[in-house]
Amino acid sequence: MSDRARRMPRRHVPPWARFVARRLAAGLVVVWGTLTVTFFALHLAPGDIVDGLIGPGAAATPALRDQVIAENGLDDPLLVQYGRELAQLASGGLGWSYQLNEPIERLLGSQLGPTVELAVSALVTALVLAVLAAVLTAGRGRAVRGAAGLAELLMVSMPSFWLGIILLTVFSYRLHALPSIGADGPAALVLPTLALALPLAGVLAQVIRQELESADGRPFVLTARSRGLGATAVLLRHTLRHALLPLTTLAGFVLGSLFGGAVLVENIFTRPGLGRVLANAVGSRDLPVVSALVVISSAAFVVINTLVDVLHPLIDPRLREGGTA
């Protein structure tokens, strides 16, 4: 192996590795851009940066002001501060919340779990519901497709906070079937998951159904049917795979709507989590926390999109490079 490595010049990195590296590098640029935008927006925004960092929630005594200026080196030129922020981030530090009096990385670390739990369960629910709905309704008669289309439209148009409120009213306060607040145990996860998953399922079901129906007219489906394959087998072996392909490109959108939805759903259901941290931080103008969350979420975006770019050729052989004749 080492012998081989020595004989092969550096240029002979496998194409996929070079591809991944390129995508990651592009992603890093995006994160860096996000950080830069956030930093300068924060520092050039109207109002005193010292007040901005402290926020209205904490008492801005002259002593605290001096402390903030000293700790953040606010007397230094902007570019020096910017460089320091980059260095701090590179070492894993996210800054300090003066309002909560806590290092931000610890604050976020403690809130990450519930949000991830909610997002993952909502994602799985949405996918299952969407695939089921699409498979059961694609290519059916007008009545079925019309009803499915209407249901999808309603789910897409309902704000997740309103859906949450309806679920709360019906299942918690009327039927007393499920808990209304908190994050203890699986039962508390059911309603927030639905509130977050249903609008997403509406979108995904529409996309999958359209793909299934357009795939149905493609020549390879006709070929498969002409060799005696039944409609269900065609769906499972051929068209479903084609219909799921474009979902990967929606991954970034899905992540965004999960996180954006979590902000509201966690608020409605009074669940702990990053979404509530963010809502509270925006409400109290705790800028260090907001900017840390922005940078983290853009990093999550980059990771997801890179993953999609890497996975895409694995799913679709036509995208693989170096096809040999």
214-253 footprint of other proteins as x/- string (CB under 8 A): x---xxx-xxxxxxxxxx-----xx--xx--xx---x-xx
Candidate segments 4-12, 84-92, 115-123, 296-304, binder of other proteins by CB under 8 A: 296-304
Single residue of 89, 197, 287, 292 touching other proteins by CB under 8 A: 287
Residues 31-70 that bind other proteins (CB under 8 A): 31, 33-34, 37-38, 41-42, 45-46
Candidate segments 66-74, 86-94, 117-125, 293-301, binder of other proteins by CB under 8 A: 293-301
Single residue of 196, 293, 306, 309 touching other proteins by CB under 8 A: 293
Count, in order, helices (H) and strands (E) of the chain: 15, 2
Alpha carbon of 300 to those of 50, 76, 101, 115: distances in Å? 29, 31, 26, 13
Q: Does 94 bind other proteins (CB under 8 A)?
A: no
Candidate segments 9-17, 72-80, 106-114, 258-266, binder of other proteins by CB under 8 A: 258-266
CA atoms in the 13 A half-sphere facing the CB of 32: 10
Phi then psi for residue 316, to 5 deg, are: -110, 105
Single residue of 263, 277, 292, 309 touching other proteins by CB under 8 A: 263
Q: Does 72 bind other proteins (CB under 8 A)?
A: no
State the Cα–Cα distance between residues 102 and 114, nearest whole angstrom: 19
Residues 101-140 that bind other proteins (CB under 8 A): 139
Helix (H) or strand (E) holding 97: strand 96-97
CB of 163 to other proteins, least distance (A): 8
188-207 footprint of other proteins as x/- string (CB under 8 A): -----------xx-xx--xx
Give the distance, in angstroms, between the CA of residue 316 and the centroid of all CA atoms in the same chain: 23
Residues 9-38 that bind other proteins (CB under 8 A): 29-31, 33-34, 37-38
State the Cα–Cα distance between residues 141 and 55, nearest whole angstrom: 58
State the Cα–Cα distance between residues 39 and 288, nearest whole angstrom: 10
Residues 265-284 that bind other proteins (CB under 8 A): 267-268, 278-279, 281-283
313: helix, coil or strand?
helix
Candidate segments 9-17, 79-87, 186-194, 311-319, binder of other proteins by CB under 8 A: 311-319
Nearest residue (CB) to other proteins, 62 versus 219: 219
With beta carbons less than 8 A apart as the criterion, state whether 89 and 35 touch. yes
What are the structure tokens assigned to 77, written together?
């030129």
Residue 194 identity: L
Nearest residue (CB) to other proteins, 58 versus 278: 278
Residue 54 identity: I
CA atoms in the 13 A half-sphere facing the CB of 184: 4
Residue 21 identity: A
What are the structure tokens assigned to 144, written together?
């079925």
Nearest residue (CB) to other proteins, 65 versus 242: 242
Residues 141-180 that bind other proteins (CB under 8 A): 142, 145-146, 149-150, 153-154, 156-159, 161-162, 165-166, 168-169, 173, 180
CB of 57 to other proteins, least distance (A): 13
With beta carbons less than 8 A apart as the criterion, state whether 53 and 288 touch. yes
> Nearest-CA neighbor of 259 among 311, 308, 203, 301?
301
For tokens 């994050």, name the residue: 183
Q: How many residues bind other proteins (CB under 8 A)?
A: 95
Nearest residue (CB) to other proteins, 61 versus 157: 157
Q: Does 259 bind other proteins (CB under 8 A)?
A: yes
Single residue of 103, 256, 272, 313 touching other proteins by CB under 8 A: 256
